[in-house]
Amino acid sequence: MNVDFSLILVILVAVCGVLWLLDALFLKKPRQEALRRFNERHSGKADERTQQERADLQREPVVVEYAKSFFPVLLIVLMLRSFIIEPFQIPTGSMIPTLAVGDFILVNKYSYGLRLPVLGTKIMDVNEPQRGEVMVFIPPHDPKYFIKRVIGIPGDRIRYEDKQLYVNGESVPREYVEPESPILTACGPLPGAVYNEEIGGVVHRIQLADIPCDTTTRTTWVVPEGQYFMMGDNRDSSSDSRFWGMASEEQIVGRAVAIWMHKEPGLHLPEFSRNQLIR
């Protein structure tokens, strides 16, 4: 189930804020007036019963008390998640070997501009996505968050043929690191290898199967204005721009910056051995 925590937070903040405001405008004054009249009638009395009745008149309704307590906490969490940093968990292996299934990552929400929560409307420009960066976004075919690497920016011509990536006619350099077998691909488990690839000045690892496993016949794309060509580092097991098109600027969530925890699926304890910056 894809839970929209931002929407839930916005609703909770709004409900708590409205309850607090209604109390301040309509309920607080009648309580104060009732307390004033009570004090006038029982001036000078300090017995236990009088004190209890006085405390009851001063007490806020339970729902208002909770709303006033939770409102600032929820508002701070909403601001942090919406404008500064938000945690995500990696659900698939499309970014192996950079990101593994079960990695918990931090996403910088400020890096690509401030956006309104839920609506996603940009209200302030900061930076634009650059080649080589790892980005969280909403693809055109699915309402869930995706995470891939930025390969092409507006105006770029991308070619991917025989497992070699070209940007604007130049091959993207890569260097063999080690064998990897088996690699889980769209064609099933296959032998393969890990490579160091450099794009946009960012050196990162990718994974390629030794056997052809291309499930699309298209090899060349031109990136339109306001869109980005995205690919997974596990090139033979990634649903990305080769299959469903470009990531729109309006659907950017933020830049993935660090792994802060890892948890294997199932009944396993979290571990922190994979903690590192994402490159």
Instruction: Name the nearest CA neighbour of 165 among 224, 213, 215, 208.
Output: 208
Q: How far is CA 151 from CA 23, 120, 216, in A?
A: 53, 23, 18
203: nearest Cα among 273, 133, 135? 133
Token pair, residue 100, equals 């593994």
**CA–CA dist 90, 147 (Å, integer):** 8
**What are the CA-CA distances from residue 218 to residues 169, 229, 231, 243 (Å)?**
16, 14, 14, 9
Cβ-count burial of 81 within 10 angstroms (0-12 exposed, 13-18 middle, 19+ buried)? middle
Q: Which residues are catalytic?
A: 94, 148
134: which residues sit within 8 A by CB, 6+ positions away?
95, 98, 99, 147, 148, 149, 150, 255, 256, 278
**Cα of 225 vs its chain's centroid, Å:** 24
Give the three-class secondary structure for 32: helix
Report the C-alpha gap between 128 and 275 in whole angstroms.
Answer: 26
Joined tokens for residue 8: 């839930």
